[in-house]
Chain A
């Protein structure tokens, strides 16, 4: 049996596990059946808040912003939760 994957910041691991479990359930049971209701918003926000600090501490925030154009990402620093403020 596969172990669960740890978060890049150990303190975020429980939130990541909760989000991952929520996401895969939502994806298979709702999203693929055309239901756009987001079941995981609350846990996603908590996970993001935790991750935001870790990314900043590791100095990854700018690197991520810089790499976005090369992969055609629609996300920007405005709608993400990992800005450097």
Chain B
């Protein structure tokens, strides 16, 4: 692809790894700051903190909607194209929710309503954290078993971890909340992330030939892999953003962020580590 001019062989391992490491430190700082100020690494969305989300199509302006729902803990009104509106309410008791549901059904019969109780949200969040942790550990075990070499396997796992940390940091910065869909996206990211890392490691470790050739070959393949995936997800993002399908839009946003960061981590960090490893004579 003509527009990518980066040459994996031009820089020393140290030079390659500097940029991702700086970004990693910045990301940790962002997450640390968030942890210190809000008490959570990532801002939990409605799925986890509890609340009510309403999707409806109406020509009424956000102010009119705020007026209509003034008796309820309305947090935000997001508008989209074709009159789609996305309303978020904070937690409320059962009686208020019942009356809210009746009000919505009466005024906007074609509204989608989702309500999560605060304690249920907490349980969901606990489960989601466990799922992320178990997935990550499972992935790490597979990688170590597959390569049976500490440095290359460690590099792949480290790269996946940095992908997640950096993506989480960017999510915090641009205000994407942690919800069930974005948890799914982070899990998908584990899969996508190791894809190109495994390709790189396999090519370098198992193929014959000069290191520089293997690296640039892997880079060519790896970049096309990530760009095709990015193209598919960007297309999805556009459709979902225009069509106000928040679940898919959120998943796509996280994946786009994650894949862009993954390109950097794979071809600077992981490639740097594996290059250093090979130059040290790590391959038998």
A and B interact physically: no
Chain B positions within 8 Å of A, measured between CB atoms, are: none
